[in-house]
Amino acid sequence: MAAFNYTQKIDSLTTVAIDEATRDLANLVNEGGEKLLKKVQSKGRIFVVNDAEKVKHPVLYGSGTTLYFDPDSMGGTTDYSSGGTDEALGYTANEIMSFAQFHMYSATRNINYPQAMPAGNFIPYVSNSIKMHMMDILQKEELMFLRGTDTVPLGGYAVRGPNVGDDGATAGKPMTVAGLLNADNSITFAGIDVGTGSGDFEQWRPTLVDGAGVTGGSATPSTIAHFGPALDLAILNSSFSETERPDWILTTKTMYTNVLTALRAASQINDAVLANLGTTEQVPYAGCMIDWSRYLDEGDTWDGTGGSGTECPVLGINTNSLRLNVVAGGGVSDDSLGFVQKVGSTQTLPTRTNLFDRVQYKRCWSIDGGRRSFFHIEGWTNG
C-alpha cells in the first residue's frame, strides 16, 4: 500500500478537526466567543437548522372575528358581540398570521498550511490551527452583527435589514443590530411593513426613548436620577410578557462605567451588593443585566430621530427572541452538526508551495419572539 502523503494527511486531519471544533458550539463559543455570542449561547439561542434560503418565524398579525353568544338562545341571533343584533362570524378569509423572513447568507475563507509541518505530530498543529480559525469566525460574526463589518480598527455602523427587499438589506451580508433597532415607522423589516397606516404592522417596531428629553433626563447622564427615568421608560414600554421583554442592555465601556458609578453612589444599595457590583461585568437593573461591548462606540447612527448627532448606543435586547441560526455542514458525515464545511480537497496555492483548504458556512441572525421587546435609548453621550 502506498504511503499516506503529506497532502492527504492535511486533507484528512482538516476534515476531522473542523467537525470536532464546530459540532460542539457551546464549548467553542465559551472558549473564544465574544460577549454577545456567549450571552446568546448561555440562553440556548444558537440553533442548528436545515439548509434553506430563509429562516421564517410566524408572527401574530391582525385579529380574527369572535362572536360571543348565549348558548340558550333559540333565536339564533345575539347582541353580545361588539354591536348590533345581526352580528355574525366573518365569512371572508381572515389571516391572522404572517411570517418574518430572515435571509441566510454564506461565507468562505481559506485555511493555509506551510509546505512542510514542523517535525513531530501533525494532529495538534492542525487541530489548533482549525480551532483558531473557528474562533476568528465567531469573532467576526459578532463584529458583523454589532457593526456591520468585520474589520478592526472599527469604522462606522451599517443599518442593515435581514431580508432581501428590506431597508438597508445588502446581498451577502446578515442583519445588524442597528437594522434590528431601527425605529423608523416607514420601513420594511423581515419582509413586514412597519407603520401606522392601513395594512401596516405598528407592533413590528422597536421601542425608542429620548434619554435627554424625558423628565429628569440629561444628555450626559452621570447620576441615577439621570439614568433612571429613561431606563425605566424603555424597559416598561418594551415589556409585554415574561418572555417578550428586554433582559440585556448593551452599551459602550464608558457609558457602562458611568452607570456603574451612578449605581454605586446611590446609597439605597446595601454593602453586600456594593462589594461585588460590576465584578461580573454585568450590572442588574429592573430585571435586566447591563453590560458593555468593546465593539460599540459613539456614532451618528444612534441619533434615532435626527440622524446627525454623535450619540452613545444604549441597546435593550430580548435574548429570548434573538437567535443565531447555523446550517449543519459537517464534512465527515452528512449527519454531523458542525456548522463549517470543507469544500473539496486540500490544494496547493497557485504560484506557491503552501497548501490550503477552502471552508464555507451559512448562517443568519433572526428574532422569533417579536421586535417590540427591543429598545434603543437615544440622546445620550458618554460625557
Query: pLDDT tens digit string along 195-236?
Result: 776 667 888 999 999 999 999 899 999 999 999 999 999 999
For residues 211 and 380, the answer to whether their CB atoms sit within 8 Å is: yes
Q: CA-to-CA distance for 12 and 257, rounded, in angstroms?
A: 49
Q: Above pLDDT 90, what percent of the chain?
A: 48
Instruction: Locate the domains of the chain by residue range.
Output: 6-55+100-378
Measure the CA angle with vertex 131, ends 367 and 117; round to 5°.
155
What would the grid cell of residue 318 be? 430580548
Q: Note the pTM of the prediction, 2 decimals.
A: 0.88
At residue 92, the pLDDT reads 53
Query: Where does the pLDDT of residue 275 fall: very low under 50, low under 70, confident under 90, or very high at 90 and above?
Result: low
At residue 85, the pLDDT reads 45
pLDDT at 77 over 70: no
At residue 1, the pLDDT reads 35
At residue 260, the pLDDT reads 86
At residue 251, the pLDDT reads 96
pLDDT (mean) for 10-26? 82
Q: CA-to-CA distance for 97 and 56, rounded, in angstroms?
A: 12
pLDDT, tens digit, for every residue of 344-377?
Answer: 888 888 887 788 999 999 999 999 988 999 999 9
What would the grid cell of residue 310 be? 454623535
pLDDT (mean) for 277-301? 86
For residues 102 and 326, the answer to whether their CB atoms sit within 8 Å is: no
Q: For residue 204, what are the contacts with CB-CB under 8 A and spacing of at least 6?
A: 59, 189, 190, 192, 193, 194, 371, 372
Q: Which residue has the higher pLDDT, 352 or 300?
A: 300
